Structure 1
Amino acid sequence: MHYTTALAILAHGAAVLAAPAPSPATHTTTTASSAAPTSTGLSLTQQLFLADTAADRFNLLPEDKQFVFDFNQHQPNPGKGGELVAANRKTFPALVGTGAGMAVGRLGPCGMNTPHVHPRSVELQVVTQGRLIAEMVPENGVLDKDGQRRVITNTLEPFQMTPFYLGSVHTQFNPDCADAVFVASFTSEDFGTGQIADESFALSDNVLAAAFGQAVDGADIDKVRHAIPASIALGVEECLKKCGIPKRSL
C-alpha cells in the first residue's frame, strides 16, 4: 500500500473514532490468578518459569480451575468497534511451557482491527461468526504481478482460516451490520501486538517528515498523531452508510 493511500486510511479512521489509542497492555486481560505476587514476591507466572521441572509446575497449579481460561470476560478499555480478549502467559499462567497462546475477538458492525504486527508469533485466525475481510502485507521483496508490493486480501466466511506470518502487517474488517467473531491461535505464550499507526506516529517529527515526505504536512503531524484509531476501530465509509452508523467528528 502506498504511503499516500495508507495515510488517507489513517485519516479516515481518525475521523470516525474519538477513543485514544490503547497501549499494548490493553490487548490482554489480567486474571486474579496472576495479578498479585505471592509471599515470595514473585508472580505465579514467574514461579512457573523458575520451576526446576515440568512436573514441579503442576504443584504450583493445584486447582483444576487454573487450567481453564474464560473468554467470556471483557477487555479493559476496548476500542469503539469491538474487543479482543487474549490468553497469554500473564493472563493465563498455565500456558507457561506450552509455547502457545490464543485470543478471541469481536468486531462490531463496520469494525476494524487496525493494521498491526505480532513481533513474536505466527497467527492462525478462524472466523466463527459473520465474515471478515483480511489483508496481510508480507516482508520486503514480495511483489505482485505488476511489480508492486503484494497485499494478500481474502474474505473469510464462518470456519475459514488464514495465516498471518511472523512480523507481517495485517488487518481485519467487518463489512457487515452484525457482529463478527474470530478465534486466533499463536505460536508463542507472549505473542505481543504493535499497532502500526500508533508506533509510526510516535516517532519524532523529523523522522516522520523524512519517511513520508510531502504526504504529511509538518503542521498536521500532531493532529494526525493524536487521532490515531484505537486497536479495533470503526471505519470504511461504505459500510457506515450501509449500516446507518454516523461518522464521529474529531
Structure 2
Amino acid sequence: MLINTTIAIAIMAFLANAAPAPAPADGSMPSTTPISNKTDSAPAAPLPTDITKQLFLADTAADRYTLLPEDKNFVFNFNDSTKFNKGGKGGDLIAANRKTFAPLVGTGSGMAVGFLKGCGFNTPHVHPRATELQIVIKGKVITEMVPENGVFNVPNKPESGRRVIRNELGPFQMQPFYQGSVHSQFNPDCEEAQFIASFNAEDFGTGQVADELLALDGEMFTAAFGEAVDAEELEKFRKQIPASIAEGVASCLQKCNIKKSY
C-alpha cells in the first residue's frame, strides 16, 4: 500500500508541474519556456564522404547516432534542386537512398519524389531490389506495369497476350509496382504532375529497360528481336534513346503545343 501511495503522490506532483499556467487576468497569453532552442536555419556540417561505410561498420545501432551528431543530419530536403538526378527533358526525380541520405542505413527503406512536366513520360524501368508504392500528389498519372512471364490476359492462355496492368491515378491515389516488374508513368496533361514513391529497400536501384536492351551486343540484340530490327540501324537506335524521363507521346505533345526537342 505504501508503494502505491508513493507512486500516486509522484504522479500527482508531475501532473501539477506539467499543467499549463493559467491565463493572466489581462487576457494576454501566458509566457512559455521553449523546450529547445535548436531553431537556427544554418545547414548541418557536411558529413564525411565515407559516412555510409562508417554507419555500416558501427558495432551497434546506438553507435550510429554518434556518427550523426546534428539533429539536421536526419532531415532530407526534397525541395533541394541540387539533388535532381537530371532525369531528362520531360521532368526529374529526387531519390533518397542510403547513398544520398546516410541515415537510411539499416532502415530497409527509401523514397523518391517525381516531377513530370506536361506530357512527361517516365520510361519503362525496373527496380531490382524493391517494390515501389507510388502515390500521386498533383495532377494525373497514367501507369502501366507488366508482370512476370506466365501472366496473361486470360489465365493459362498465352495466345490472349501478356497482361499489362494500366491505371489512371489522380491526387492521393496509389499503386504498387512489384519488385522486378517493368513499369512506367506518363503525365497525359499539359500541367506538371508530381508523385511520391516509397521503397522497401534503402538501395532500391533502377534500370531503364530500353537502355539496358540496347546495351547488349549487336548480334545478341538482333537475335532476340528476330527480323524486327535491322542490325545496321542498331547504333542509330542507341544514340536516340532518351533519358529516364522523356518528353512524352506525340498526341500529348501536339495537344499541349509542345515542340519535341532532339
Q: Report the TM-score range of the alignment, normalised by the length of the smaller protein.
A: 0.7 to 0.9
Give the equivalent residue in structure 2 for 1:166. 179
Q: Deviations over 1:211-232 (max 9, x none)?
A: 0111111110000011111100
Separation of aligned partners in 2, 1:230 and 1:223: 15
Contact 1:86 1:103 in 2 (8 A): yes
Q: Does the CA contact (< 8 Å) of 1:101 and 1:186 recur in 2?
A: yes
Of 98, 121, 124, the residue aligned with 1:89 is: 98
Q: What amino acid is aligned across from residue 76 of structure 2 in structure 1?
A: F
Separation of aligned partners in 2, 1:210 and 1:192: 28
1:163 partner amino acid: P
1:120 alignment partner, one of 129, 138, 141: 129
User: What is the Cα deviation at residue 76 of structure 1?
Assistant: 4.0
Describe the superposition over 1:161-209 as per-residue Cα deviations: whole angstroms up to 9, x where unpaired: 0000000000000000000000000000000000000010000110011
Q: Structure 1 runs of 4+ off > 2 angstroms?
A: 31-34
Q: How does 1:211-222 map to 2 (within 5 A)?
A: 211-222=224-235
**In 1, distance between residues paired with 2:123 and 2:257?**
21
Higher Rg of the two aligned structures: 2
Which structure is higher in RCO with an 8 Å CA cutoff and minimum separation 6? 1
Which residue of structure 2 lines up, in the alignment, with residue 143 of structure 1? 152
**RMSD (Å), alpha carbons:** 1.4
Task: From 70, 81, 86, give the equivalent of 1:77.
Answer: 86
Displacement of 1:237: 1.0
The alignment partner of 2:220 has SS state of helix
TM-score (norm 2): 0.79
What residue ranges of structure 1 are gaps of 5+ in the alignment?
1-30, 38-42
* Structure 2: segments with no counterpart, 5+ residues: 1-43
Q: Give 1:129's match in structure 2, choosing from 117, 133, 138.
A: 138
Match of 1:176 among 165, 185, 189: 189
1:205 aligns with 2:214: no
TM-score by length of 1: 0.83
Q: How high is the sequence identity, in percent, across the aligned residues?
A: 63
Instruction: Give the aligned partner of residue 62 of structure 1.
Output: 69
- The number of equivalent residue pairs is 213
Partner Cα separation in structure 1 for residue 180 and residue 46 of structure 2? 30
